Structure 1
Amino acid sequence: MLLALVLLSTAASAQVRVTGTVSTLAGRQPIPGAAVLIQGTSRGTVANNEGDFAIDVANTDTLMFRAVGFKPQRLPLGRTGLSQIIVQIYMVRDSIQLGEVRIQSGRPDRVEINRALRNVRRPAPSTNVVRRAAPPKPLFPIDTIAPKAPVPTLASPISLIYDQFSRAGQERRKMEAIQAEQRALEAEKARRKYNRNFKDNRGYE
């Protein structure tokens, strides 16, 4: 009797190798990524790009086939005595019904828009922001001009020496060089415009 019970329990929990293909009923197209699950457990597998799968289960298990957009299919093994089963699963597309959609005419109230904007949370400034150094200030304010060159006289010869070696004198000479370069560029532009007008036979404008 003990040997018979052992044989019965072994037959009841025999392992079955289930292989096959999951495809659509209409068109017989493979369904890649279809889930093959053992009902009542978290064990399962996924079909490959060709829709093929393989899984080892007990002969008392029930397989569930699921795919997005298709109705689930069940395959009870029914205590089969086979050690390997090859199946072909055809899945039917599932129709999705949308809920009721209401369309209202007109524009939303400004009060509701302002209330929604107030509820939007602004992102907090990041603490890891790298702050750049402030841009350098110009040598002289925009609304002023550089200091004028001092007039050397016999009464104050030190003014000429101060103009040559002081920082203010260096800044004044640099500003004079910048202004001279700008005047040269403006003169070049005027000359080109003058030549272009005569080339187009329009005369000097």
Structure 2
Amino acid sequence: MSRGVGLLLVVWLLACSGVHAQALPTQVSGSVSEAKTRLPIPGATVQVVRTKRGVVTSTTGDFSIEAMPTDTILFRALGYKSQRMPMGGIGLSQLVVRIQLVRDSVRLGEVQVISDRPDRAIINRALRNIKRPAPPVVSGAKRPPKPKPLFAVDSTAPKKPVPTIASPVSLLYDQFSREGKQRRKMEEIEAEQRAEKLRKARAEYNKAFLDNRGYTP
């Protein structure tokens, strides 16, 4: 092998090794925190712009992602300004970075909350305007008879004669005569019989009910 051919072979091997070294990815790891407080930012996205592949930071703000030396990594978090980090053709196999994001002071517009529930006056007006259907008319229907008391009111009891000044003799006769005394005794007996009959009828009627306090006509 001549000297010139050997030199070209060495140059070609060096060129191939340089291309192979540039094609190796870099493992980028580190943390994302707030620039002012240095507190970690969990849930921040770390994305390779070229491939759109990304990861999310842990609860402590840590991450690890693989990128090529020619790639650019984009760091984003809600409420913070996004930050880009170009790899710059670095040929390292591992790279540790500390990314600090600045809060984004975005002022939101005024928000007006409107309830979709109608006003109480509208509800009351709608209720008043509802047409209630008329009760159905049944042809040939008869009204039920009015309830009657179970025991008729006794109105046939004999009444004592009302003595007047015009007949003082009848008053004296009714008070002291034997006939008057017998008539008053019979009235008392008849009243007791009627009361006993009514009591028995009430007791018989109330047997079918739990509340047996009696019936009062």
Give TM-score scaled by structure 1 length: 0.49
Give TM-score scaled by structure 2 length: 0.46
